[in-house]
């Protein structure tokens, strides 16, 4: 993170990070995907406009950022400009609470939203991405000047940004980046220390994790992509760029999948010769894991469009799966399976490292709404488990209603199932993720020294 050119004894120094009252021990810095290129100072106003479009779209609704990436304001930009715009929007989303804390100290009253967006975008560049202050401030002023509605505020934009450059941002708290209702929930569920860890994790740009086919060499791939082998065999790299150009991609040796997302299939432990069902399979990383085990797998999902990536990866890796496009609860096939995986639709609050917009887009009412969907899907999954078979339920959510509460209620409704406790060391999960019941509750703050993981809940059940 950097401010502008040095102005005083302890403020504005290039490379300074936003202060945090609750900052824990720092690990060695790692390369960041959203670090802007050296030529960022030359990227013009259109890229900043696109960054504002992406930021506002992400704040308005779930999936808004992805949808906005297809808008002309973004697609018309050259490749480097598009990458810069997305990097700025993601940085602003990750640090939005801190950025607003800084702005609120400088603004006597709230300006129009267009001006606030300009200021947020400028501070995301200077305080997070390391863009030279002169470039970010100058462009923000130009943006204010070009529109008659914002032109009267160009002096305010200049004064606020120059003041922050000169005086420094001041103290901010990582917890401010979390919406109040989510912070309150996580504090009640996980405690103060865990909340502080989650808030720090929400600031960080995640690495890229790769799951490998059984015949691939993790150590060799790690050397090729300048990465490391994590417990369980996932290869983690901070290498950036187009993954299609990385060693082993064309050969189909691996696919991109967060280390935590790979745990549920390891917990399911499908074997060669077994039958398996992956309910709600898209985008398909877990289906690929099951297919790579040698099991005969059916991938079921209601969205044909979301299964496109699975089809592409199956073709690239040479793996096989039967694909059925159908809502899981409506599938009329009478087969039962040795292993059933239900990665249920959820609020996805555990994925905030990769998708910071989920924290802003998720509303309290969605938790209860999705919990009802999960309830129905679990009962449908139970009917698919053959006698003696096993069921793994998982969600990438940090909300208990979508995880622990679901399994407690399911076991009460289904006395023919029992928990088969997880052993974290055997499946590449953090040791501290094991719950007293034998389930897994992975928090994004775990493995902080390795770069963290996505948040997941997973439970393995046996039909007895």
Instruction: Name the residues annotated as catalytic.
Output: 396
CA count, 13 A, side-chain hemisphere, 195: 20
Nearest CA-CA partner of 143 in 127, 166, 130, 125:
125
**Beta-strand relationship, 296-301 and 322-325:** parallel
DSSP class of residue 373?
H
Distance of CA 55 to the CA centre of its chain: 16
Nearest CA-CA partner of 51 in 106, 131, 107, 111:
131
| Three-class SS state of 318 | coil
Q: How far apart are CA 395 and CA 185, in angstroms?
A: 17
DSSP class of residue 4?
S
Alpha carbon separation from 177 to 198, 266, 348, 360, 415 (Å, rounded): 10, 33, 17, 10, 42
Alpha-carbon dihedral angle through residues 143, 149, 150, 151, given to the nearest 10 degrees: 80
Q: How far apart are CA 127 and CA 384, in angstroms?
A: 52
Give the angle 352-395-408 at the CA atoms, nearest 5°: 130
Percentages helix, strand, coil for the chain, rounded to the nearest 5? Answer: 50, 15, 35
For residue 423, report the phi and psi dihedrals to the nearest 5 degrees: -120, 100
| Three-class SS state of 314 | helix
Q: How far apart are CA 357 and CA 299, in angstroms?
A: 28
């Amino acid at each position: 993170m950097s401010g502008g050119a040095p102005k005083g004894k302890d403020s504005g120094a290039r490379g300074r990070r936003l202060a945090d009252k609750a900052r824990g021990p720092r690990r060695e810095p790692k390369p960041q995907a959203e670090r802007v290129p050296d030529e960022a100072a030359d990227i013009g106003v259109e890229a900043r406009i696109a960054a504002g479009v992406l930021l506002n779209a992400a704040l308005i609704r779930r999936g808004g950022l992805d949808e906005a990436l297809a808008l002309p304001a973004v697609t018309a930009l050259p490749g480097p400009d598009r990458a810069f715009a997305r990097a700025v929007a993601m940085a602003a989303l990750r640090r939005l609470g801190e950025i607003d804390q800084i702005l609120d100290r400088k603004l006597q009253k709230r300006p129009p939203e267009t001006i606030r967006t300009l200021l947020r975008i400028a501070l995301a560049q200077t305080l997070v991405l390391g863009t030279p202050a002169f470039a970010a401030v100058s462009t923000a002023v130009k943006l204010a000047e070009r529109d008659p509605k914002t032109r009267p505020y160009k002096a305010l934009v200049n004064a606020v940004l120059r003041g922050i450059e000169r005086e420094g941002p001041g103290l901010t708290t990582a917890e401010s980046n979390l919406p109040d209702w989510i912070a309150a929930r996580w504090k009640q569920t996980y405690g103060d220390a865990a909340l502080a860890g989650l808030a720090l994790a929400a600031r960080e740009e995640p690495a890229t994790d790769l799951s490998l086919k059984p015949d691939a060499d993790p150590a060799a791939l790690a050397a090729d992509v300048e990465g490391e082998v994590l417990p369980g065999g996932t290869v983690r790299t901070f290498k950036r760029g187009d993954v299609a150009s990385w060693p082993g991609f064309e050969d189909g040796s691996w696919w991109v999948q967060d280390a935590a997302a790979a745990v549920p299939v390891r917990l399911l432990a499908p074997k060669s010769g077994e039958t398996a069902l992956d309910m709600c399979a898209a985008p398909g990383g877990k289906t690929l894991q099951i297919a790579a085990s040698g099991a005969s797998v059916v991938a079921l999902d209601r969205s044909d469009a979301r299964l496109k990536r699975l089809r592409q990866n199956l073709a690239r890796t040479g793996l096989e799966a039967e694909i059925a496009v159908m809502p899981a609860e409506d599938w009329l096939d009478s087969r039962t399976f040795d292993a059933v995986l239900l990665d249920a639709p959820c609020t996805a609050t555990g994925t905030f490292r990769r998708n910071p917009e989920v924290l802003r887009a998720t509303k309290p009412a969605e938790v209860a709404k999705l919990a009802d969907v999960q309830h129905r899907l679990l009962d449908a999954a139970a009917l698919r488990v053959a006698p003696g078979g096993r069921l793994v339920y998982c969600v990438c959510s940090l909300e208990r209603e979508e995880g622990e509460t679901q399994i407690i209620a399911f076991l009460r409704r289904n006395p023919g199932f029992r928990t088969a406790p997880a052993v974290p060391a055997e499946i590449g999960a953090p040791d501290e993720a094991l719950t007293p019941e034998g389930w897994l509750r992975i928090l994004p703050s775990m493995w902080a020294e390795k770069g963290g993981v996505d948040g997941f809940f997973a439970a393995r059940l046996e039909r007895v």
